[in-house]
Each structure stands twice: as structure tokens, then as C-alpha cells.
Amino acid sequence: MSRARLPMDWEVARLRVLFAAMLVAFGVIEAALWRIQVARGPAYRRDLARQSVRRVRIPGPRGRIFDARGRPLAENRPAFGLALYLEELRPRTRRATLTGEVARVIEELSAVLGLPPQTTPADLRVHIQKRLPLPFVVWRNLPDTAVARWAEMGSRLPGVDLYPEPVRAYPEGTAACHVLGYVRRAEIDVDAEEPFHYHLSEMAGAAGVEKVYDHLLRGRAGGRLVRVDAAGYRYDDLGGTEPRPGHDLRLAIDLDLQRAAEDALGEHAGALVALDPASGAVLAMASRPGFDPNAFVPSIPADEWSRLAQDPATPLLNRAAAGAYAPGSTFKPIVALAAWQAGRAQAETTHTCPGHFTIGGARFRCWDTLGHGPVDMPHAIRYSCNVYFFHIGLATGPDLIAAAARAAGLGRRTGIDLDHEAAGLVPDPAWKRRAWRDAWRDGDTCNLSIGQGPISATPLQMAVLAAAIANGGRRVTPHLLTAVRAPGEDDFAPHPAPAPEPIGWPAAALRCLAAGMRDVVMADDGTGRRMRVAGFELAGKTGTAEYGRKEEGRKRGWMIAFGPVERPRLAVAMVVEDAVSGGTTVAPRLQRFFAAALGIPTPPRRNS
Amino acid sequence: MRPDRPTAFRMLGRVDPTMLVTAAALTAGGIAFIYSAGRQSAALSVLWQKQLGWAGVAAGGMVAVVATGYRRLLAAAPALYLLSAAVLVMTLAFGVTINGARCWLNFFGVQLQPSEFAKLAAILLLARELGRTDKPAEHWGELFRAALIAGVPFGLILLQPDLGTAMVLLPVTMAMLFAAGMRLRHLAALVLLGLLLLPVAWLLLDGYQKERVRVFLDPWRDPLGSGWNKIQSELAVGSGGLWGKGWLAGTQNMLGYLPRPVAPTDFIFSVIAEETGFVGATALIALYALLLFGGLRAALRAPDRPGMLLAVGVSTLLFSHVFVNLAMTIGLLPITGLPLPLVSYGGSFLIATGVALGMLQSLHAHRPDPA
């Protein structure tokens, strides 16, 4: 084989030193192992056998949600349950079993409280098997009378104690329910890196602000080390880390405006959105029918959930942001702006309305079959004259109308901080070719010009449109969250809102529109005159859109509005299902809303 | 072809049976305890089968290295070194990030850790360069050359950042310099310099690394968080006692006190020590000593100086992994993510260890026959 190479003496010596050093290092390990395993092994084994440590995860309390004036919309209330501490009930004799002992105590307690137990023997078996060191909660969320009765008579029973638990509470009940959303019991992340042995129940946002800002609202979980003995019973507490509560949120919602909005809707299905036209802050967002988020706490019974989820009236749907409907005549301001920008119409542009309009063999009617006669743009808005908008719509063409609608924010989500927002639809010839494989016809343009046909918009989008007309042509991003308070802080830190963006509407066109919309409300022959509030100049635009099957003749009444005209504080969109028309059904409701809303910030006290 | 030219086949017949059996025993034992550590979780229960597959690949790597012969590897050392440096750069650029370190590269769906192979390439080049002459390496120039060769992969691995894997290059380079005959004064100066640089190194550590050192000094500062592994690992080892609780009977592991993801990998020794006790742990250490003895014997009998240095480098690499891993498990060193050769679960390192053992075996096969 290879020729022999005799290593030099110093090489041999150094290799031996190297190996010796490795052996010495192993010797050190061996010595340490001897010390740990043999010399102190019995101590370690005792530790392990008698005092094994279990880690219990304790969720941090959820942050609270306040309205713009600091009134609580969602908070935590202590609820009392009764729990059995199993280590105190462990069987004393060989004949007794833990299940037997526990069943006996539960029976006695049940008699004292006059309440049937909320748990089954199967629950108990699972608990003993999986969660032995934790108290077994037999009753949760006890009524005060039961707590009092237990304190009086039941406290002599061994191993039973009150079990306080924070519970989500919505003090205003159904108010702003779609904005707030609701919570559900959080899923346990079993594959988490941190090996917790037991988890106490935690709530997670499942809808609305509770869901969108769950990451802020949820506290940081703490942990407790519980020593258990060989049989698995709790031995003692070793302490641990405290949970941290979540962040508190302040919304733009003003509870007074919110209540006024919900009163305006009453029992009618529909929605109302009120924005601050300058910033896009959502001052009120109401949708009816609604639900009581308290019903989801601590958990919603299955039958109640299926009743809510399957109700044809869709009480869980937030019609204000997730419902997209044909806007009807409230879309006409967009058509007017599109025509103006295209150079096809101005304030003085006049068309004569004979009460009907014929194109391509189809006859379109104005809502007033007697006709409006010759009308200019402000009057066409005031009377909501369909024929006028057929003329200028056809002259402008569907692509420019669609472009103007998109510029105003229709056909895409506004970006509000809510889940399940609908985008709505702005149809144009390209869309019709794609979706219906059909050519766009003049009749489609006529439908689009009066906000009918496949076009749809959410009340929230229409409120953004109202705000843009009110604020001089800027598109706001509606938002709910205005400030956040970190745990342990005294003050809220403002939450930045996206800045409004100029749309580029001509100032003259806006002035003309605003004048026309003012007349809708303030003129005696305006379609929205029923919205008038004494002492205030308001502006609006009514709309009526058919929906459902034609023979049913169901209509949605719409209105967009803002006011006061000289210094708008509110921009509003409202839709009501099964309405007669926007002017008769919606205007009086908005009148009630504006009366309440404008009275609120400065109580009506006139210095004369 | 010269008649005495060794064929690959003949070389395979001349391997060291003791080292072969030792390595096989360690690998088999490792698989047994990976099985034990993975039983509690569905995701981990298949690891022992995967490790069996990796062991097959590693054995193939070993055979391939012996068949190739260590001399061809030394001849190719510059190319292998440059290739490995390039792959390390690629890892930094396109690697997969796991636990905050970008040290994995995707090869056709298989994730590999290039740093394990880069270390071997560095050892090959060091052996070749330090073995150019038969004279002792007594000059600073050789020291700087060695520092440069080790420094490139060291820096690239440190950038990932994988401190533990990078640090292993230090004792390896020192041992090779020592075996190459460097003056003890120079070595002492190097060690002193290293100690002086420690405070600087502290500043360069990441937050989680500093936390590991602090936890090493006081594990109860965060008993639920970062101190948990150390406390539970020591408890597992300690409760094993003299004879252990028996295979598959380690309660620490079973109850999930040892975090499940690390039990089959970096903390496999605490599972072994809990289940087989002091006796089993000692047997494991004895197997490693036997393996290292084979490695250093290969160094002593090496037919040339680069071969001798190669054996020293590879042996020191294996030793460093064993020592740091065991010391960390029983609380003598801070926690670093260094796996236990042949025993810890992990494909890249098992294959790299197979290749490394192949180099030792190739040296053994080239040993001069008694005249």
C-alpha cells in the first residue's frame, strides 16, 4: 500500500495531547453527570415525582371599546360561577371514588341553589382525565340571587368556591351591534411553541370591530405554574407571569347619534350611515334588524345561533357596509358631474320632460307621468326628473358615467375598518360583455343614468358621496377607530386616519349640485321636503329603486343628505326596505335623525 | 495503471471495522431515542423513519468518500471550498428562514443546511495548505492563512446568524494548527486575544443569544419562557438516576416538559439520559471516545501530512459537537443549537457526519501496512 511515513516525535506527542484533552473534557462531562444523576438523582426524582409543574395559560382581559365621548360600548363584567376544587374532594377511603364525591357535592349544591347543574357526568369525567389540577366549574355566570343563596347556605360545603371570570358585556345592548360585532370562545392553539398544559377560556372577536381589532383588544396571556403531586391533584401555586390586558379603543361613533339613527330606522329593515364630511369619521352606523351581542357571551346556544344565521331578515348582516343595493335617483348627482366634466351639460342646460322618453322602441317613464316641462339642472335634481338625466346620460355615455362613479368611490370597498365590506358594482360596456356576453345598449345607459339596473352601492359608499358633495369634492375614507389606549396608559393616543383625496370635480358643478340638493329639501316642491328641520338649511337627494321580483313591486327608499348647508357637520345616507319612495318613507325618518343630531352638540339655547 | 494503485473496491475492504460498528451503533441508538422522543406528537412520530432514510444517504456518502479517496478530495479542496462559500452566499440571499436564522436552502424540495458541508470544505483546504511542507508551521504567515481560510465560512455562517455552528470552526482550526506544529506561545497569544475580544462579541450577540447566556447564569429569571428548556432538561437528566427509567418511559419527555420540537434534535441527550440513566449516558460517551480514538489513530498512521491534519480536523469537529451538546444539555454551557453527531435528528448534519467519517475511513484504508 502507501509508503510508510513515520510521524515525527513532536507530531506523535501533540496528537496524544489532543486525544488526552478530549478525554479530559469527556471526564468533566462524566463528573457532572455523576453529580446530577447519581449524587443528586434522588432529589431530582423526588422533585419530579411529587412536584411536577404544570403551566396554566391565563388570558389577559380584553380591551374595552368606547364611543367618541368615552361612554363604554363593550366592557368586561365580572361573572361568578361556582367551582369544585378537586384536591379537597379527593376520596378519603378506598371505597369512595372522586366522581362519586363530586356527584354528591353537586347534588347538594343544586338543591341549595335551586338550579340544575350546567355540567354532565361526562364533562366531569373529561375534566378529571384532562384537567385534574384545575377547578371544575359547575355553574358559570350565576344570577345574583344564586350567588347570595350560596353565600348564605352553601359555603359550608368543602371544596366549593366562587369562581370569578371576566365576561364581555355590551351595556347598550343592540346599539351599534353591527359595528361592534361579537366575540366567540377562542380556539386553543395546541401546536404553539410554548408548552402550556392547560388553557383558561379566552374570547376572540368573531365579527365587527371586535374581529378587525382583535389583535389590539386581546390581552397578552400570562401563565401560572401549578405544582401537582404524583396523583395529579393541585399541590400549590408557584406563581408565574401576570396577564396583561388588551388595548382600549375609542370609536368615532357618537352614542347619541347612533341611538338617533337606530330610532330613525325603528322596526324597519334598512341602514343609516352618518359621516363627518371633513374627515370621514363614522359618527353613526345603524343597520336593522339587529341582534344583541350579549347573547354570544359566554357562548351562544346552538339553536339561537342557527335562528340568527338562518333568519330571512338577516339580522347579522350589516346592511350599512355589507349590503349593496341599486342606488336609484341618489346616483343622479354622479351623472350630472360626469356630464359636466364631459362638457355635455351645465347648470343652464335645459331639456323638456313630457313624462316619458322613447329610445330604440322602448319607452322609459319619468316618475311624474304628467311631465316636468322644461327643466334646467338644479330643477332636474330638485324634481328628480328622469327624462332630464336620460338626455344628459345618453349624451355623456356609459364609460364616462362609470368613470365618474368610480372616482367617487363606487364599485370598490371604501376601506373602512370593518369586516365583510361589500364593493358594490359599477357596470359599463366592458363589464356587460364580460359578465353577460351581451352588447351595451342605449337602454342600459338610460337605466344607469337613474341608478337602476345592475348598478349597486352600499349605504356607506353613498354616505362617502354625500360627504364629497358637502366638503367640496374630496373623497374621504370612512373609519371607526379614532384613538387607542395601551394597557397601563392614562391617555388615548390618536389613531391616524387616511387623508381625504381630491376627486377633481369642477367647483361650479359642485355649487350647482349643492344648490339643487338644497332645493330638494328646502323648496316646497322638492322631493325631500319632508326632511326639513326648523332653523337649519339642509340638502339631500331622494331615490327609489325597485328590487325583488317585478310583480311583487317592492321598492327601496333612499336618501343621501348633508347639512347644515353653509357648514356641513353631517353627511348621511339612508336606505329603507319595503318603502313607498325615498321622499315619503325616508325623508321623514331623516328629519327625525337630523333634528336629534343637530340638537345634540349644542343644546337649543338661543341668545336673543 | 500501476499494479499497486489501490482500487476503490480494495479500499472499501480496508476500512476500520471498529469505527464502522461504533458509528452504526450510535446511529441506531439515535433512531431508537428519536422514536421515543417523537411518540407524543403526530408531527414528530414519523421522524425516526425519516432519520432511517437519512442514515442510508449518510452511509452512501461515506462509501462514496472512501471510494473516491481522501487524496482526490484534498486535490479538489480549493474548488470545494469556493463552491461551499458560493452556496453559503446563496443561502444568505435565497435561504429559508427558520427560527430567525437563514441557514436552510431548498434543494428540489429537500431542505439542507449548507453550513454543515462548508465546515468540511474548510477543513479540507486547511489540511491541504498547512500540510504543504513537512516542517512545523511556526510562522505567523501560516497562522494568517489558516485564519483567512476558516474566517470566510465563519463570517458567512455568523451572518445567518448561526453562532453555534460558526463557533465550532474555532477549536477545529486551533487543533489543526496545534497538530501542524505551531508554537505554543503563538497559540497562547491567540487564546488570550480571543478572551480579550469576548466583551466585543457580547455586543455583537443578538437579543435572543444574550438571553440564552443570561438564562444560563440564572434560569429562574424567566422560568416559563427561555429558562424552561434548561430547567426541564436538567430535571430530565437528573431524574434519570443511575439506571434510567427505561426506554419509552421518560416522563419529562412524555408529559411534554421538554419542548416537543427540540426533544428529538438538540435535546436528544436529555431523553437518553432520562431513560437510560448514568449508565446509558456513560456508554454513549464511551462510544464517542472510541470513535475519536479511531479518528486520531487514523491521524497517527496517516501516509502523509495533509491526511494527518485532515483526520485531526474532522475528529476535532466531531468532538466539539459532542462536547458542546452534552455540556449544554446538563447545564455546563449556555444553550446553543448544536446537534449531537449521528444521534440527533437532522438530515444535513447526519449526511455531513457520514462524509466526515468517510474521510477518516479513507485515511485508515490508506494506512501503511506493516513491513
Tell if the CB–CB gap between A44 and B238 is shorter than 8 Å.
Answer: yes
Instruction: Give just the sign of the alpha carbon dihedral B41, B46, B51, B52.
Output: positive
Tell if the CB–CB gap between A18 and B312 is shorter than 8 Å.
Answer: yes
Amino acid at the residue A359: I
Tell if the CB–CB gap between B285 and A29 is shorter than 8 Å.
Answer: yes
Q: In what order do the strands lie in the sheet with A52-58?
A: A198-199, A52-58, A222-228, A234-241
CB B285 within 8 A of CB B13: no
Closest CA to A10 of B6, B128, B183: B183
Q: Which of A188-197, A574-583, B320-329 has the lowest mean pLDDT?
A: A188-197
Q: Looking at per-residue confidence, does A78 or A211 come out higher?
A: A211
Contacts of B368 in chain A (CB under 8 A): 1-5
Name the pLDDT band for B3 (thresholds 50, 70, 90): very low
Tell if the CB–CB gap between A15 and B282 is shorter than 8 Å.
Answer: no
Tell if the CB–CB gap between B292 and A1 is shorter than 8 Å.
Answer: no
Mean pLDDT computed over A107-123: 84
Fold match between domain A54-124+148-154+163-251 and domain A255-290+320-599: no
CB B66 within 8 A of CB B358: yes
Tell if the CB–CB gap between A37 and B257 is shorter than 8 Å.
Answer: no
For residue A554, pLDDT beyond 80 = yes
Taking each helix axis as running N to C, give the angle between helix B114-130 and helix B140-158, from 0 to 180 degrees, rounded to the nearest 10.
170
Q: Which of B234, B242, B367 shows the shortest C-beta gap to A38?
A: B242
The gap from C-alpha A14 to its chain's centroid, in whole angstroms, comes to 74
For A255-290+320-599, CATH number out of 3.40.50.10800, 3.90.79.10, 3.40.710.10, 3.40.190.10 equals: 3.40.710.10
Contacts of A223 in chain B (CB under 8 A): 224
Phi, psi of A372 (to 5 degrees): -100, 0
Tell if the CB–CB gap between B303 and A45 is shorter than 8 Å.
Answer: no
What is the C-alpha to C-alpha distance for residues B273 and B260, in angstroms, rounded to an integer?
A: 16
Mean pLDDT computed over A407-428: 95
What is the C-alpha to C-alpha distance for residues B340 and B269, in angstroms, rounded to an integer?
A: 8
Please give the share of chain A, as a percent, with pLDDT higher than 90.
Answer: 59
Q: What is the β-pairing status of strands A234-241 and A222-228?
A: antiparallel
Q: Which of A7, A22, A197 shows the shortest C-beta gap to B308?
A: A7
pLDDT tens for A272-307 read 999 999 999 999 999 999 999 999 887 788 888 999
Helices (H) and strands (E) in chain B, counts: 16, 3
What is the C-alpha to C-alpha distance for residues B145 and A566, in angstroms, rounded to an integer?
A: 83
Tell if the CB–CB gap between B238 and A40 is shorter than 8 Å.
Answer: yes
Q: Which of B175, B278, B296 shows the shortest C-beta gap to A38?
A: B278
Which residues face A83 on adjacent strands? A137, A161
Name the pLDDT band for A605 (thresholds 50, 70, 90): very low
Contacts of B186 in chain A (CB under 8 A): none
Contacts of B276 in chain A (CB under 8 A): none
Q: What's the grid cell of residue A4?
A: 510508510
Name the pLDDT band for A99 (thresholds 50, 70, 90): confident
What is the C-alpha to C-alpha distance for residues B21 and B294, in angstroms, rounded to an integer?
A: 11
Q: What is the DSSP string of B300-311?
A: HT-SSHHHHHHH
Cα-Cα-Cα-Cα torsion A339, A342, A346, A349, nearest 10 degrees, comes to -70
CB pairs under 8 A between A and B: 143
pLDDT tens for A138-186 read 888 888 788 878 777 766 677 787 777 778 899 999 999 999 999 988 8
Name the pLDDT band for B218 (thresholds 50, 70, 90): low
The total of structural domains in chain B comes to 1
CB atoms within 10 A of CB B204: 11
Q: Which of A74-83, A278-287, A462-471, B283-292 has the lowest mean pLDDT?
A: A74-83
User: Looking at the domain assignment, is residue B206 inside a domain?
Assistant: yes
What is the C-alpha to C-alpha distance for residues A179 and A361, in angstroms, rounded to an integer?
A: 47
Which run of H or E residues covers position A14? helix A9-33
Closest CA in chain A for residue B328:
A29
Contacts of B4 in chain A (CB under 8 A): 1
The one-character DSSP state at A236 is E
Tell if the CB–CB gap between B289 and A22 is shorter than 8 Å.
Answer: yes
Contacts of A132 in chain B (CB under 8 A): none
Q: What is the β-pairing status of strands A65-66 and A248-251?
A: parallel
Q: Give the per-residue pLDDT at B201.
A: 76
What is the C-alpha to C-alpha distance for residues A542 and A520, in angstroms, rounded to an integer?
A: 8
Contacts of A197 in chain B (CB under 8 A): 256
Closest CA in chain A for residue B11:
A1
What is Dmax (Cα atoms) for chain A? 122
Closest CA in chain B for residue A238:
B223
Amino acid at the residue B274: E
Closest CA in chain A for residue B307:
A5
Tell if the CB–CB gap between A26 and B43 is shorter than 8 Å.
Answer: no
Q: Looking at per-residue confidence, does B252 or A501 come out higher?
A: A501
Q: Domain-by-domain residue ranges, chain A?
A: 54-124+148-154+163-251, 255-290+320-599
Q: Looking at the complex, report in whole angstroms how far the Cα of residue B83 sits from the nearest Cα belonging to chain A.
A: 30
Closest CA in chain B for residue A224:
B224
For residue A74, pLDDT beyond 50 = yes
User: Looking at the domain assignment, is residue B371 inside a domain?
Assistant: no
What is the C-alpha to C-alpha distance for residues A184 and A191, in angstroms, rounded to an integer?
A: 20
For residue A520, pLDDT beyond 60 = yes
User: Looking at the domain assignment, is residue B5 inside a domain?
Assistant: no
Q: What is the DSSP string of A467-507?
A: HHHHTTSEE---BSEEEEE-TT-SSPEEPP-PPPEE----H
Contacts of B238 in chain A (CB under 8 A): 36-37, 40-41, 43-45
Name the pLDDT band for A230 (thresholds 50, 70, 90): very low
Q: Which of A110-114, B342-346, B348-352 has the lowest mean pLDDT?
A: A110-114
CATH topology of domain A54-124+148-154+163-251: Penicillin-binding protein 2a (Domain 2) (3.90.1310)
Q: Give the per-residue pLDDT at A607.
A: 37
Contacts of A37 in chain B (CB under 8 A): 237-238, 240-242, 273, 277-278, 281
Q: Looking at the complex, report in whole angstroms how far the Cα of residue A220 sits from the nearest Cα belonging to chain B.
A: 14
For residue A563, pLDDT beyond 90 = no
Q: Which of B260, B277, B304 shows the shortest C-beta gap to A5?
A: B304
Mean pLDDT computed over B246-263: 68
For residue B134, pLDDT beyond 80 = no
Q: Looking at the complex, report in whole angstroms how far the Cα of residue B199 sits from the nearest Cα belonging to chain A.
A: 25
Can you tell me whether residue A434 is helix, strand or coil? helix
What is the C-alpha to C-alpha distance for residues B117 and B126, in angstroms, rounded to an integer?
A: 14
Q: Which of B179, B241, B371 shows the shortest C-beta gap to A41?
A: B241
Contacts of B134 in chain A (CB under 8 A): 8
Q: What is the DSSP string of A277-344?
A: TTT-BEEEEEEES---GGGGSS---HHHHHHHHH-TT-TTS-HHHH--B--GGGGHHHHHHHHHHTTS
Residue B321 belongs to domain spanning: 15-365
Tell if the CB–CB gap between B241 and A12 is shorter than 8 Å.
Answer: no
For residue A603, pLDDT beyond 50 = no
Q: Looking at the complex, report in whole angstroms how far the Cα of residue B40 sits from the nearest Cα belonging to chain A.
A: 12
Q: Which of B4, B178, B303 shows the shortest C-beta gap to A14?
A: B178
Q: Give the per-residue pLDDT at B151.
A: 92
For residue A3, pLDDT beyond 50 = no
Q: What's the grid cell of residue A421?
A: 365590506
For residue B1, pLDDT beyond 50 = no
What is the C-alpha to C-alpha distance for residues A560 and A572, in angstroms, rounded to an integer?
A: 6
The one-character DSSP state at A585 is I
The gap from C-alpha A389 to its chain's centroid, in whole angstroms, comes to 37
Q: Which of A1, A12, A26 shows the shortest C-beta gap to B285?
A: A26
Q: Looking at per-residue confidence, does B202 or A543 come out higher?
A: A543
Average of per-residue pLDDT values in chain A: 87
Burial (CB < 10 A; 0-12, 13-18, 19+), residue A170, is buried
Tell if the CB–CB gap between A18 and B225 is shorter than 8 Å.
Answer: no
pLDDT tens for A235-278 read 667 667 788 889 999 999 999 999 999 999 998 999 999 999 99
Cα-Cα-Cα-Cα torsion A498, A503, A506, A510, nearest 10 degrees, comes to -60
pLDDT tens for A479-505 read 999 999 999 899 999 999 999 999 999
User: Residues 6 or more apart from A340 whose CB is under 8 A from it?
Assistant: A346, A506, A508, A509, A512
Instruction: Give just the sign of the alpha carbon dihedral B200, B204, B206, B209.
Output: negative
Q: Give the per-residue pLDDT at A159.
A: 77
For residue A96, pLDDT beyond 90 = no
Q: What's the grid cell of residue B200?
A: 466585543
Q: Give the per-residue pLDDT at A604.
A: 38
For residue A570, pLDDT beyond 60 = yes
Closest CA to A541 of A592, A467, A466: A466
Q: Looking at the complex, report in whole angstroms how far the Cα of residue A45 sits from the nearest Cα belonging to chain B.
A: 4
Tell if the CB–CB gap between B282 and A44 is shorter than 8 Å.
Answer: no
What is the C-alpha to C-alpha distance for residues A327 and A452, in angstroms, rounded to an integer?
A: 7
Task: Give the range with max mean pLDDT: A51-55, B5-9, B215-219, B320-324.
Answer: B320-324
User: Residues 6 or more apart from B191 whose CB is under 8 A from it?
Assistant: B174
Q: Give the per-residue pLDDT at B239.
A: 82
For residue A608, pLDDT beyond 50 = no
Name the pLDDT band for A94 (thresholds 50, 70, 90): low
Q: What's the grid cell of residue B246?
A: 427505561
Q: Looking at per-residue confidence, does B254 or A566 come out higher?
A: A566
For residue A195, pLDDT beyond 70 = no
What is the C-alpha to C-alpha distance for residues B348 and B341, in angstroms, rounded to an integer?
A: 11
Amino acid at the residue A544: T
Burial (CB < 10 A; 0-12, 13-18, 19+), residue B32, is middle
pLDDT tens for B95-111 read 877 766 777 887 766 77
Tell if the CB–CB gap between B277 and A37 is shorter than 8 Å.
Answer: yes
Average of per-residue pLDDT values in chain B: 85
Tell if the CB–CB gap between B366 and A1 is shorter than 8 Å.
Answer: yes
Phi, psi of A4 (to 5 degrees): -70, 135
Q: Give the per-residue pLDDT at B260.
A: 63
Tell if the CB–CB gap between A29 and B323 is shorter than 8 Å.
Answer: yes
User: Residues 6 or more apart from B184 whose CB is under 8 A from it?
Assistant: none
Best of B4, B224, B318, B362 to disrupt the A interface by mutation (most A CBs within 10 Å)? Answer: B224
Closest CA to B145 of B161, B160, B132: B132
The one-character DSSP state at A55 is E
Which run of H or E residues covers position A184? strand A183-185
Closest CA to A335 of A263, A426, A440: A426
CB A249 within 8 A of CB A224: no
| Residue showing cell 368556591 | A161
Q: Give the per-residue pLDDT at B2.
A: 47
For residue A10, pLDDT beyond 90 = no
Name the pLDDT band for A2 (thresholds 50, 70, 90): very low
Q: Which of A4, A10, A40 shows the shortest C-beta gap to B368?
A: A4
User: Looking at the domain assignment, is residue B317 inside a domain?
Assistant: yes
Contacts of B182 in chain A (CB under 8 A): none
